[in-house]
Structure formats: structure tokens, C-alpha cells
Structure 1
Amino acid sequence: MKKVLVVETNVTHYGNTDDPTGLWLGETAEFVDEMQKEGIGVDYVSPKGGFVPLDPRSMKYVDPSIMKLYETPDFQQRALVKTLSPAEVNPDDYSAIYYAGGHGVMWDFPDDPDLQKIAMRIEANNGFVTSVCHGVAGLLNLKNQDGSYYIAGKTLTGFTKAEEILAGKQTVVPFYNKVEAEKRGANFKQVRAYKDYAVQDGHLITGQNPFSARSVAKLLLKNLNEAK
């Protein structure tokens, strides 16, 4: 079976502030843990390649499975220190792309043309486009060959305005995921704040918040196993 490509942020702070952000560790680690249980290989890419910062707040929400993966040299090097650059990725090697979240992605995911090309090539190869939490930002500007938005007419989810308010970040984020997704014709679904929730629409699988990473992974695995 082909591998899964995990996309992570290079952004270290919220916009023009000094407030640190980055990858929400569990959103990568829990997803990858589920992939590893099924023997599916994973590679890591970021817009610039190389170093991926961790949102310091994400370290408050680790469990033994997250820490076990975090402490492995392979994860540290490939997921956090030496991520691939888009130029180093061959989309034909992957059965799915997964956009992990953390607030940092809101600044470097939406307008990256190289990542967009990778995602749409994977999708064109009958692969899956998936995200969790703020990772949905990476889906906003994906376009079909005819120039239409990939998410137009599709049902998806992502981190909500209510969750931004509870996180205390409503005044620093550059946009709200629901607003931007609906501008592009998507059908944005959500449940109560911080409840595990994932939704599938064809080859698009999305999760609402950090607690939805494993649900996204399990939905993807179900589809990959059915396609064998």
C-alpha cells in the first residue's frame, strides 16, 4: 500500500505578535500512531521543509501514546527537524494527504501552490484529501482543473469560531475556517466545541478539532482497507 503524506506548519508565532504557535503535536502523533498500527508508512512535508515548531500549549495535552512516538528519533528527525520540502515529494507515492493543524497553518497553508499541486495530484490518483482542526486551511484554495474550488459543494469540518473564542485566539487569527469554507461553497458542519467529530464526503475526510485526529485516521484506514 502507498504511504500517507502528513503536512505540517513552519510558522512559529501568531501573525505579527510574539505569541508562539506551531504544530499541535497530538494532531500529527495520534494520526501517525493509527497509521503505524496498520503498517502504513508516513512521510512529513512542510511549506519550507526542515524545522517544524511545536505549539507549546499542545504539550499540555499529551498522553502516553503521543509521548511514545514523540520520543522516537525517527519522529523527531523526520516530523520535526528534517521535514521534506514540497520539491522533494513525488505525489504518486501516496494514497492520501493529511493536513495537521495548530494555529500556525493559518498563515502558511492556504496560499502554498506547491502543496496545492501535490494534494490535487494525489486526489487525481484516486487518493484521499484529509485534514484535522486548523489543517482545513490547507483545503481552502485547492482547485479543480476547471478552476473551481475543490471544496465547493462538499461537506467538511474544522476548528470553529466557538473553539477560537474558548482558546482565546479570536482576535489574532487571520480568518475563521467556517466563514472562508462557506465563501468557497463548502457545507461546513460542526458539533459542540472540542467534541470529537469527523466527517467524510467522498475522498474528502475532515476532523473538527485536536480531539478528532484519531477519528480522521480511522475513517481513512477504513477506506484504504476497502480499496485493497
Structure 2
Amino acid sequence: MNKRILMVVTNGQSMSNGHLAGIWLSEFTEPYEELTSKGYEITIVSPNGGESQIDPNSLAGEGIPSKWQNLADLLKETSPIDSVKASDFAGIFLPGGHGAMFDLPNNEHLHKLLRDFAESDKSIGAVCHGPAGLVGAKLSNGEPLVAGKTITAFTDAEEYEVKLEKEMPFLLESKLRELGATLVVRSNWEDHVETDGKLITGQNPQSSISVAKEFLKTLD
């Protein structure tokens, strides 16, 4: 049985307000812990390779929790996404953080990976802004990967609550609906996961553990 999982993280970038849009730490560490606890080996890649910058807002002003320091260190030197191929992995997982909105939607190699995973009936997981990576992905027939799929993602209401709607290149919930996905959303910050076949999505940081657990079920 293939016990390798590919995890795709953002490199992060500054927003026009001067703040860093990076990876949301718990959306990386909590799924990482869930997956490795079941014996899976994680390969971490990013669009450019190198550092995946951590969103300071995900640290609650207290710095990296000591329990996650070793995992945070893994984000300092990721492999470039074009160095991997889907056939080597059992599934792919996309953590969120606002940085994912900038460098995942237009990454052609990520699109190819996602198409290969989907058309090989392999598991695809994404949480919060991670589904931004699904935005540009298309199947071989040209249809959006998310078309006709029941999913969830960081909601427009949540984006407005954190007052970053004007900093984003698009609103994720609205964009996924435009692509033909059926978006199911819950109250802001509610733990919420949707599973459609082997496509598993979570709404927000509060959903990170739940989406990882559901993702694991599709790997068995």
C-alpha cells in the first residue's frame, strides 16, 4: 500500500496592506500530525520551493508553539512543486492560509497534479483557503475539476469578517460557485467538512483535524 502523501503549501507574499499572506500554521501541522500518526510519509512542496512563510496571524502573537516547532522548521525548506509527480503518491493535501490565494490558483504544475490525482481516483484534500488550488484545475475534457462537486471552503462571510476581502484576488466561495461547484457553508468558524467521493474539503482552520480524518478514510 502506498503510504506517501503530497502536501502543497504556499510560499506566501505580502499584501497591499503590508501584512504577510502566508500559510496558516495549524492547517499544516494538525493534518500533518493526523496523517503521520497513521503511518503516512509526507512530502512538502511549494510553487517555488524554499520557505513557506507562516502567517503571523496564525500564531496569535505568541510565536510558534513549542509542540509545533519541529514541524514549522519543515516549512523553511520545501521542495519545488515541479519536482514531483502524482504517480508517486496516494493522495494530495492542500493546507490554507491567505497566501494560497496568490500562488496556487495559477500554478500549472499543481493543475496537472490535481488532474492526475482526480483521474486516477486518488484522494484530494484541502482546507480553508487550500481549495484556491482547485480553482484553475481542469480535467482532461476541459471541465473544471470542481464542476458538479459538493465542497466547502473559506466563505465570503468569513473573508469579510477578517476584513481581507479587498486584499484577495477573488473571493474563494464565489469563485468556486462560478466554476460549477456546489458550495455548502456553515456559520463562521464552525468545524465543517464536505466529502464528495475522494474530494474532501474543510471550511476554515477549525476544520483542519476533521478534514484530515475524513481524508484518511478515503485512503483506506
Q: Please indicate the TM-score interval, normalised by the length of the shorter structure.
A: over 0.9
Q: Percent identity?
A: 35
2:202 equivalent to 1:204: no
Q: Secondary structure at the match of 2:90?
A: strand
**CA separation in 2, counterparts of 1:183 and 1:95?**
29
2:1 equivalent to 1:3: no
1:56–1:36 distance in 2 versus 1, CA, 3 Å: same
Whether the 8 Å contact between 2:22 and 2:99 is mirrored in structure 1 is: yes
Q: What letter matches 2:85 in structure 1? A: N
1:154 corresponds to which of 144, 149, 155: 149
Aligned to 2:189: 194
1:27-82 CA distance string (max 9 Å, x none): 000000101111111111101111110000101299x9x642x222xx3443x121
Q: Secondary structure at the match of 2:143?
A: coil
Q: Secondary structure at the match of 1:130?
A: strand
Q: What letter matches 1:11 in structure 2? A: G
Q: Secondary structure at the match of 1:44?
A: strand
**CA separation in 2, counterparts of 1:197 and 1:176?**
19
2:172 equivalent to 1:177: yes
Displacement of 1:123 = 2.3
**CA separation in 1, counterparts of 2:53 and 2:39?**
27
**CA separation in 1, counterparts of 2:200 and 2:61?**
23
TM-score (norm 2): 0.94
Whether the 8 Å contact between 1:26 and 1:61 is mirrored in structure 2 is: no
Aligned residue pairs, count: 218
**CA separation in 1, counterparts of 2:215 and 2:130?**
16
Q: What letter matches 2:206 in structure 1? A: F
**CA separation in 1, counterparts of 2:191 and 2:216?**
17
Aligned to 1:35: 35
More helix by share: 1
TM-score (norm 1): 0.90
List, as ranges, runs of 4+ consecutive aligned residues in structure 1 with deviation greater than 4 Å.
none
**CA separation in 2, counterparts of 1:61 and 1:193?**
22
1:67–1:94 distance in 2 versus 1, CA, 3 Å: farther
1:206–1:47 distance in 2 versus 1, CA, 3 Å: same
Q: Secondary structure at the match of 2:20?
A: coil
Aligned to 1:89: 84
Displacement of 1:122 = 2.1
Aligned to 1:22: 22
Query: Which stretches in structure 1 are left out of the alignment for 5+ residues?
Result: none
RMSD: 1.7
**CA separation in 2, counterparts of 1:21 and 1:87?**
22
Written as runs of structure 1 = structure 2, the 5 A alignment for 1:64-143 is 67-68=66-67, 70-72=68-70, 75-78=71-74, 80-143=75-138
Query: Which stretches in structure 2 are left out of the alignment for 5+ residues?
Result: none
Q: Secondary structure at the match of 2:92?
A: strand
Whether the 8 Å contact between 2:91 and 2:219 is mirrored in structure 1 is: no
Displacement of 1:2 = 2.8
1:77–1:204 distance in 2 versus 1, CA, 3 Å: same
